[in-house]
Amino acid sequence: MPLRIPRLSLVALAIGAVVVMSGCTTVSTLWQAAQLSTQPVPSATSASSPPTGLVSLAVGDCVNRTALEDEAESTDPFAACSAAHDLEVYASTTLPDGDYPSVEALTNQGSTECAKEFGTFIGLDFGISDLDFIYYYPTESSWANGDRGIDCLVYDPAGKTTGSLKGATR
C-alpha cells in the first residue's frame, strides 16, 4: 500500500525547510561577519572610497564617523571626547613623498601600522580586544595635494563611546 501524505503536511514540511534554510544563511552570514571583524582590515569606506583629505586628523581627536565621511567641507566631524562619539584617532603615520602608492600597498601599511599601534594606545593587543579599528589613507587627489597620512581610529563595535579609549584595556 503506497504511503499517503496529506497536502497540509507537505506544505508544513516545505515551510519548515524554507525557515531552516534561511536560518542557516543568517547564521552563516553572522558567523562570517564576526570572523571579519576580528581581523585588522580596512573599513569598507576606506577600501572603497577613502576620504578626500578635507579633514586633518590628529592623535587624540574624537570624531563622528558619518560627519567625517560625508566629504562636505562645511560638516564638522569633531566631537569633544567627553561627549558621545564614534571614533578616536589613536595613531598616525606619514608616508614618504613619491608616486601615489597602490591601494593594496596603502591598505597593507594601514592595517599593519594600526594593528601594531593599537596595543600601545588601548593597553591590550588588538587580537584580544573588544574594540576595533578603521583607518583612512590618501586618495590620488588628496595625495596630489600633499596628503601623506594614514590615520588609525579606534571604536567600540557596540556603539558610541564617551570619554577617551586610551588605556581602556578591553
**Per-residue pLDDT tens for 24-70?**
333 333 333 333 333 333 333 333 334 445 678 999 999 999 988 88
Contact between 90 and 59 (Cβ < 8 Å): yes
Quickly count: other Cβ atoms within 10 Å of residue 96's Cβ.
Answer: 6
pLDDT tens digits for range 82-106: 999 999 999 999 999 999 999 999 9
Quickly count: other Cβ atoms within 10 Å of residue 85's Cβ.
Answer: 23
Contact between 79 and 55 (Cβ < 8 Å): no
3-state secondary structure of 36: helix
| Cα–Cα distance, 30 to 117 (Å, whole number) | 28
Strand extents, DSSP E, the chain: 62-63, 78-79, 84-85, 87-94, 132-136, 149-155, 161-162
* pTM of the complete model: 0.69
**Average confidence (pLDDT) over 145-155:** 96
**Average confidence (pLDDT) over 2-22:** 40
Residue type at 56 in one-letter notation: S
| Cα–Cα distance, 95 to 76 (Å, whole number) | 26
pLDDT band at 79, cuts 50/70/90? very high
Contact between 93 and 150 (Cβ < 8 Å): yes
Domain boundaries, the chain: 1-37, 41-162
